[in-house]
């Protein structure tokens, strides 16, 4: 039987089944597709797949997107929510990176953790080596709490950003977390403790040797200082750093310009925001921005370097950003501006973009903010595709989208199609035409589709009656099984999506550190 004959027979059977269903009553839950659409979509996928070909050219540019804590369940739920916000059922929706042609699974364990934190997971992607818990871009022989700059220098591992700088390419970092936080910091800093973000975070003495640490000659530099005092190649290369964490760059004698009750965290009296400007001046026009108007005033055509620190700590969640007192740019806007700076370099660039607050919302047990930030992360990826296409460099750019780890975030029950992803579970009724009703637990109480294995959403007095609770409210905390002050990471694989030069090397089940090797293979 040829394909066209098979298609005709299939459509005939499907139409007969549809007629019988109408005779028995109309299902209360209906998808938007006609019967034949499912078959046609499958055939279209096959034809698109046949047209794929390996892109073996050298990548001029590499963009690494990391959704911090963006496990597969987060991607699924965000995909549905985005679709439902467009007044569709949601399940058929696709996030921007869902359309990438190459995918794989990433094994996220670190050298000493089954379920990892962001420091070793980003170190794996940034350097090609599995590392220890809490450590940034140093090898696994480094002692915990190592405070000696000489030892750290001997054990540091070069990152993809440092390699790109040595190739003469421009580089950039964008994050909704503090720019000194683990994921972005792993690209430019080398330290045994991810928490050493300002000098006030350094210990007084080395826990291993008792030698002086904070402020001592020969002691490791804090992360903010490392970003300013990078190697000459990286200093010239690092054109854009946008995110939060400005108090880590400010002296403790200076009050924050946006929140007068906050002050700088630096004990050494240095204003690293101004040092950024002066240290980059020999290479081009440099600026510092801490609010939206200053950010908007920075024109990439006339400027070469931009440091933007828009909050004392992490930037606002996307759901709350409009209420920021001084205004702050979205992740999409920061990514757009970074690209327009970096695209000026004829040698190409490396850019890292982190959706850092996906992770923080999950730790808080707050699915609404986590999913909203995931949607904004997807928007930033779409903007990148548009900007690169318009500049004629899309096919010369390797783009990888992945996560450092997942969370204990679940999608459960048997909710009907189109059921509000943030709402209570309502199952498909047993008889067509019957209304939807809340699914009930063993005690006769409804429950939500989304939940956490552990975290602050655990109710100490047992499950509450959610019948009249607005579980879609942005502040609602999904229920959790194990009570913890903060929800934890989870240890299952996360997804990798890729397109562009050498993207076909992303395949199957991968060790997380192999992502570095794919990027370097594309660049070299």
On whether the CB atoms of residues 147 and 206 are closer than 8 A, the answer is yes
pLDDT the model gives residue 312: 98
- The C-alpha angle 48, 381, 195, rounded to 5 degrees, equals 135
In the chain, which residues have pLDDT < 70? 1-24
Q: Give, as one character, the DSSP assignment of residue 363.
A: H
Q: How many CA atoms lie within 13 A of 436 on its CB side?
A: 18
CA distances from 209 to 148, 191, 205 (A): 10, 17, 8
Quick one: tokens of 63? 């963009």
Reported as a single tens digit per residue, the pLDDT across 220-255 is 999 999 999 999 999 999 999 999 999 999 999 999
pLDDT the model gives residue 205: 95
Bridge partners of residue 92, in order along the sequence:
none
On whether the CB atoms of residues 230 and 279 are closer than 8 A, the answer is no
Active site residues: 118
Quick one: tokens of 337? 């501006």
On whether the CB atoms of residues 55 and 500 are closer than 8 A, the answer is yes
Q: Which helix or strand (DSSP H or E) is residue 16 part of?
A: helix 3-24
* DSSP secondary structure of 123-190: HHHHHSS---TT-BSB-TTSPTT--BHHHHHHHB---HHHHHHHTT-EEEEEEEEETTSHHHHTTT--
Q: Which helix or strand (DSSP H or E) is residue 378 part of?
A: helix 367-391
Reported as a single tens digit per residue, the pLDDT across 21-33 is 444 678 888 888 8
* DSSP secondary structure of 179-244: TTSHHHHTTT--BS-TT--SGGGS-SB-TTT--B-TT-TTBPPPHHHHHHS--HHHHHHEEEEEEE
pLDDT the model gives residue 31: 82
pLDDT the model gives residue 524: 87
What whole-number distance in Å separates Cα of residue 154 and Cα of residue 156? 6
* DSSP secondary structure of 387-405: HHHHHT-GGGEEEEEE-S-
Q: Which residues of 175-213 are buried (b: 16+ CB within 10 A; e: fewer)?
A: bbbbbbbbbbbbbbbbbbbbbbbbbbbbeebbeeeeeeb
What whole-number distance in Å separates Cα of residue 396 and Cα of residue 503? 11
CATH topology of domain 61-408+488-523: Alkaline Phosphatase, subunit A (3.40.720)
Q: Where are the domains of the chain?
A: 61-408+488-523
Q: Which residues of 496-519 are buried (b: 16+ CB within 10 A; e: fewer)?
A: bbbbbbbbbbbeeebebbbbbebb
Q: Please state, as a whole number, how many other Cβ atoms lie within 10 Å of the Cβ of residue 154.
A: 12
pLDDT the model gives residue 463: 94
pLDDT the model gives residue 76: 98
CA distances from 108 to 195, 288, 403 (A): 21, 35, 9
Q: Which of 219, 138, 139, 150 is nearest to 185 (CA)?
A: 138
pTM for the full model?
Answer: 0.94
Q: Which residues of 12-36 are buried (b: 16+ CB within 10 A; e: fewer)?
A: eeeeeeeeeeeeeeebebeeeeeee
pLDDT the model gives residue 58: 96
Q: Which of 407, 370, 382 is nearest to 332 (CA)?
A: 382
């Amino acid at each position: 039987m040829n394909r066209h004959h098979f298609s005709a027979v299939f459509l005939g059977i499907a139409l007969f089944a549809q007629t019988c269903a109408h005779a028995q009553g109309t299902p209360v839950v209906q998808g938007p597709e006609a019967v034949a659409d499912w078959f046609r979509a499958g055939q279209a996928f096959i034809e698109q797949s046949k047209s794929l070909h390996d892109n073996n050219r050298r990548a001029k540019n590499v963009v690494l997107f990391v959704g911090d804590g963006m496990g597969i369940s987060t991607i699924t739920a965000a995909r549905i929510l985005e679709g439902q916000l467009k007044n569709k059922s949601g399940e058929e929706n696709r996030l921007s990176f869902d359309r990438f042609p190459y995918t794989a699974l990433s094994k996220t364990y670190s050298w000493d953790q089954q379920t990892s934190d962001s420091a070793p997971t980003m170190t794996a992607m940034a350097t090609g080596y599995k590392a220890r818990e809490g450590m940034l871009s140093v090898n696994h022989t480094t002692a915990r709490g190592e405070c000696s700059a000489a030892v750290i220098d001997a054990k540091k591992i070069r990152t993809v950003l440092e390699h790109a700088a040595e190739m003469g390419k421009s580089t950039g970092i964008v994050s909704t977390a503090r720019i000194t936080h683990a994921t972005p910091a792993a690209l430019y800093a080398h330290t045994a403790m991810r928490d050493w973000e300002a000098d006030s975070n350094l210990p007084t003495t080395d826990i291993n040797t008792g030698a002086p640490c904070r402020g001592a000659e020969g002691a490791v530099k804090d992360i903010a200082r490392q970003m300013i005092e990078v190697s000459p190649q990286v200093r010239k290369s690092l054109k854009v750093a946008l995110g939060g964490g400005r108090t880590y760059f400010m002296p403790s004698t200076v009050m924050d310009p946006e929140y007068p009750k906050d002050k700088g965290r630096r004990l050494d009296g240095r204003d690293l925001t101004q040092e950024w400007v002066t240290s980059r001046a020999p290479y081009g026009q440099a600026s510092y921005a801490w609010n939206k108007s200053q950010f908007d005033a920075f024109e990439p055509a006339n400027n070469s370097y931009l440091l933007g620190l828009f909050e004392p700590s992490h930037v606002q969640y996307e759901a709350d950003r409009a209420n920021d007192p001084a205004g702050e740019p979205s992740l999409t806007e920061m990514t757009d501006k970074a690209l327009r700076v970096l695209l000026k370099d004829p040698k190409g660039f490396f850019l890292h973009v982190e959706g850092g607050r996906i992770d923080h919302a999950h730790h808080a047990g707050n699915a609404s903010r986590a999913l909203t930030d995931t949607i904004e992360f997807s928007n930033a990826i779409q903007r990148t595709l548009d900007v690169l296409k318009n500049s004629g460099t899309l096919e010369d750019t390797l783009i990888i989208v992945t996560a450092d780890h997942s969370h204990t975030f679940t999608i459960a029950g048997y909710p009907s199609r189109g059921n509000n992803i943030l709402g209570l579970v309502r199952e498909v009724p047993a008889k067509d035409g019957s209304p939807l009703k809340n699914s009930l637990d063993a005690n006769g109480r409804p429950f939500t589709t989304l939940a956490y294995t552990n975290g602050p959403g655990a109710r100490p007095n047992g499950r509450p009656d959610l019948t009249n609770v607005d579980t879609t409210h942005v502040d609602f905390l999904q229920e959790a099984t194990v009570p913890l002050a903060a929800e934890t990471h989870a240890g299952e694989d996360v997804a990798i999506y890729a397109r562009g030069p050498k993207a076909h090397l992303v395949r199957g089940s991968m060790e997380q550190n192999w992502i570095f090797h794919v990027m370097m293979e594309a660049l070299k």
